[in-house]
Amino acid sequence: MDIQAYHERIGYTGSRAPTLETLIALQRAHLMTVPFENLDIYRNIPIYIDPEAQFDKVIRKRRGGFCYELNSLFYQMLHAMGFETIMVSARIYNYERNDFGPEFDHMSIMVYIGNELYLVDVAFGEFAVQPLELDFEADQTDPRGIFRMRTHEMNDMLVSRVDNHYARPLFVFTDQPCRLREFEEMCKFHQTSPQSRFKQGRMVTMLTENGRKTLTGNRYKVTHGKGEIEVDIETEEEVTELLRKEFGIELQYS
């Protein structure tokens, strides 16, 4: 892992000591500069769980990606910096089925800081900006909302977002360490199955200082505090320009 190249990609110039302060700064820097996007899936370009290919795409070519790419890279970078990290499987809550997805539906990260364990995720859309401590008693206030950890069935842990005193389930996960290859089957599923949420259309989203900007299909939405603006993008040429200007993405067409 070329740590310097990664830090340059996300504009990070702070400490490299494996501390909570460093972890907080790295997570925020990544979320502010690397979009979550499914453009390769939308264009039927295969994505493989290959660390070198992930690094080339996201760091060298300044693209984004989905969880198997972004959380994988962030995990590798943290590990190279000396953080004690665990790659874990998560199952995303499906509101239509009122149930959680299959194992390896989502990749997430756990990080030890001293004796404390934190959930870290840079690839789950509108999620916590900062690491969430595995505290099953108190709710945690984050710049993007209030989050709650609870134990779930068997050995699962549940993370929810609290809106108006209602806890909205996000995903369940365990502290069982996983290897990259264990995610290969679900990575392929999410690229090819009509049931995959990533096959429903083009989507690009990225955190901003006071909100988020998102392209869904040809609909561009910007939230800023409690306000929001939505516009329709008329042509593919305009989409290409929007991707370049707002997300720093320059697609290769050859």
**pLDDT level of residue 154 (50, 70, 90 thresholds):** confident
| Phi, psi (rounded to 5 degrees) for 157 | -120, 140
Angle at 182 between CA 89 and CA 8, to 5 degrees: 75
Residues across the chain: 254
Q: Can you give the pTM of this predicted structure?
A: 0.94
Banded pLDDT at 225 (limits 50, 70, 90): confident
> Confidence band (pLDDT; 50, 70, 90) for 253?
low
User: In the CATH scheme, what architecture does the domain 3-34+45-195 have?
Assistant: 2-Layer Sandwich (3.30)
Helices (H), the chain: 3-10, 20-33, 39-42, 51-55, 67-80, 184-192, 236-247
Whose tokens are 């083009």? That residue is 202
By C-alpha distance, which of 74, 82, 81, 26 is closest to 51? 74
- Judged against a pLDDT cut of 90, whether residue 153 lies above it is answered with no
Do the beta carbons of residue 11 and residue 161 sit within 8 Å? no
Model pLDDT for residues 53-74, shown as the tens digit of each residue: 999 999 999 999 999 999 999 9
Kindly indicate the confidence band of residue 251, based on its pLDDT and cuts at 50, 70 and 90. Answer: confident
Band of pLDDT at residue 142, cut at 50, 70 and 90: very high
Mean pLDDT, residues 21-34 taken together: 98
97-123 tens-digit pLDDT:
889 999 999 999 999 999 999 999 999
Whether 48 has a pLDDT exceeding 60, the answer reads yes
Residue 90: φ, ψ to 5°: -130, 155
pLDDT for the residue 18: 97
Model pLDDT, residue 90: 96
Q: Using 50, 70 and 90 to split pLDDT, how confident is the model at 226? A: confident
In 46-119, where does DSSP find H-type helix? 51-55, 67-80
Q: Work out the mean pLDDT of the chain and round it to a whole number.
A: 94
Percent of the chain with pLDDT over 90: 87
Work out the pLDDT band at 82, boundaries 50, 70, 90: very high
Predicted confidence (pLDDT) per residue in 119-139, tens digit: 999 999 889 999 999 999 999
pLDDT digits over 182-220, tens only? 999 999 999 999 999 899 899 999 999 989 999 999 999
What are the extents of the domains in the chain?
Answer: 3-34+45-195
DSSP state letter for 55? H
